Structure formats: structure tokens, C-alpha cells
Amino acid sequence: MMYFVPSWYHGNEYKENEQYFYVRRAVTEFDDSVKQIQMFNRNDIMEYKILNLSYSPNFRHFLHRQSVFHAPYWSCFDAIQEIRRTKVDILSYHDLMWPDHTEFVYTPFCIVAYVNNQKYAEVHFGEDGNMIEVFLFQDNMMVRKNVYDDRGFLSDTIVYENNQAVYEQYLDGKGNWKMCHFFEDGHIEINGENPFYLIENTRFKFDHLSYDSMESLIEEVFSTYLDEMTSTDDIFCLAMHVLHHDMLEKLFEKRKTILSFYQNRLELFEDAELKSLIQNTNYCIVDSKHKISLLEDYAEKKLPIVDITPFDTRADFGISQQLTVQNILVPIDTIEQSKFEELILLFAKYFEINETARV
């Protein structure tokens, strides 16, 4: 079986990168893991599964945007929060408990709730129109942010003091807190009355009631899943990311691995664990040829590397012959400014001889 471990994180946090519907994305959601999963989803190659390590309350909407809504997956935070629900459920802000005489004002960006002419809450929505967050206010200062799961329940609540996040509580499907994350030092506390996490239908007890970091907690739960649910014959396609490469080196030392490097995620620095992981992998995937020499120089050995662009470069002659324009797609997220300026001049000259071209 093939397992995909993507790096769908918000910066260097184990959280999804869900945005409000009115915010334009500066960087596309598309990456190498998305393309690889799309290929397995569309073709009956072999059984596969996504192993998602990030906190993703809107994961179903993300999969839908990538055209892999029915892709099988396991979520580490679902295991931690003991979430058994799998289907998307509609939750309206009208379903929430509001004080008497609450007045809703509709703005272009959110819905603002007032109680006795005082701002009480803001309701924010995601790209698909689903409610994702509710900000609660007291004396015009935000005191709490509630995060809602696209399966129809409150998933996380963040408490603020003086407009600064103090701690957040991750909740189970019934609203009971499972763990508390303190922002000042990053440590985690587990609810001693329910110190269990869920792997499939089996409950396992946490080794500790306090963890120094989120990564150590995720590592424990992920390690249990690998031991209980996978075999040594399984293949793991690991999207390399600085946030989790130490964890991957510990957990996949004796497993069959494919390391996938994409765009600016090729961060090579002097680290014994990272070098060992690259040296002992079964295969490496890069998105351009120039990264091959970089990897081999870093690993100090010849590596089994293949360069595969994540974009579909095959020509569809049946469609392209019917078009009256020439569409040119250019990824510019990581291109240098000087190269970008040269590219603009090159296209300007090309447009003079080809009026049907579009970029």
C-alpha cells in the first residue's frame, strides 16, 4: 500500500492554511503531494491513503478543491480529538446559541453580531461559504476565537487576553476539551479525565499528561498509527518540509520511503538526521533537473532520483486544436525578481508576433 505524508502546513505550524473567502491566495494550494494523490485517485494503480499530520478542520473542503474529495485519509488530530465523524455537515451561525435581542449586521466581509448596541461577535466564512471562525468580543476587545469543523461541530477555541492569544483548547465531538496548547512556551497539557487518543476504533492512552511541544505529541500518536496500521512492505511518499523532517527520520528509518522535494521546500542545511534520511531513502522525487546535483552533493553519494514536474505537461490535441488563443501558464511563486523582469520582456516581444497568445 502507498501512503502519502504531505506538508500542508500554515507556515511552520501544524495547521491548515484555510483562508477567508475574501482573501486572495498569494501562493497556490497546489503542490507535489496534490498532483501525486490526484494521479492515484484517477488511476487504479494501487491502494493508497493520505496521512495528514496538520490540524485541518476544513480538510474535506480542501480535498474537494483539489478534486480528490473521496481520497482515503487518516488525520492525526482526529485521532487526538477522538473524532469519529467523516461526513461534511452544514452548520449555520443560526444554529449557535446567541443572547436574547442579538442583531446581525451583514457586511461584505463577515457578519457582525450586536447585543444592546455593543459588538458581540464576528462570523467569518471560508472559500466555499462555510462558517470557519467566530470571534467573540467584550468591551470591543476580542476575548475568544472559536474554530468550526466542516463536519458540523466546534473543534477548537482560543482564549485571548489584551488581544494576545494565551491558550487554545482542542475539543472532541461533544465539546469536551482534549488537550490545551499554551502559546507562551508551546507546551501541551492533556485532559487527565480523558487521556486517550483513537486509532481506528481502538483507544490508546497518552504516555504523558504534559508535552514540551506539539511535535512530540504528534510523533507519539503518529508512531502508534504506523506500528498498529501499517507493515514493513508499505511504501511512504514523504513531502519534505523543515517542520517535520526530524520526526520522519526517527519514524521511517527502517521503512520504504520516497522523498519528494518541491520548489522552496528544498531546504538543505547541516543536520545529521536530514542527511541520513536522504542517504537511506529508496527514491527521491524533484520537480526540476537542477535540484538533482544539489541533493547528491549534499548527500555525498549518487542517489536514485527522478525529476517529475507536478504540472500536467501532456498536450491534449483534441482540445488545443479547437482553441483560438494560445494560453501560456507560468508559475511565478518562487521566481527571482531579475528573472521575472527578463520573462516580462521576453513575453512582450513574443506578443508582437503572436496576437493570440495569453499569459
Closest CA to 291 of 258, 312, 257, 268: 268
Predicted pLDDT of residue 101: 92
Half-sphere exposure of residue 84: CA atoms within 13 angstroms, side-chain side: 6
**Residue 15 DSSP SS3:** strand
Q: What angle do CA 170, 172, 177 make, to 5 degrees?
A: 50
Say which amino acid occupies 356.
T
Pairing mode, strands 141-149 and 357-358 = unpaired
Predicted pLDDT of residue 319: 56
Which residues of the chain are under the pLDDT cut of 50? 314-315
CA distance 256 to 237: 9
Predicted pLDDT of residue 28: 65
Q: First and final CA of the chain: distance in angstroms?
A: 40
CA distance 280 to 235: 14
Predicted pLDDT of residue 246: 87
* Residue pair 178/194 in contact by the 8 Å Cβ criterion: yes
A 10 A CB-CB count for 137 gives: 19
Predicted pLDDT of residue 225: 98
**Structure pTM?**
0.84
**Residue 307 DSSP SS3:** strand
Q: Which grid coordinates belong to 168?
A: 487554545
Q: Which grid coordinates belong to 19?
A: 483562508
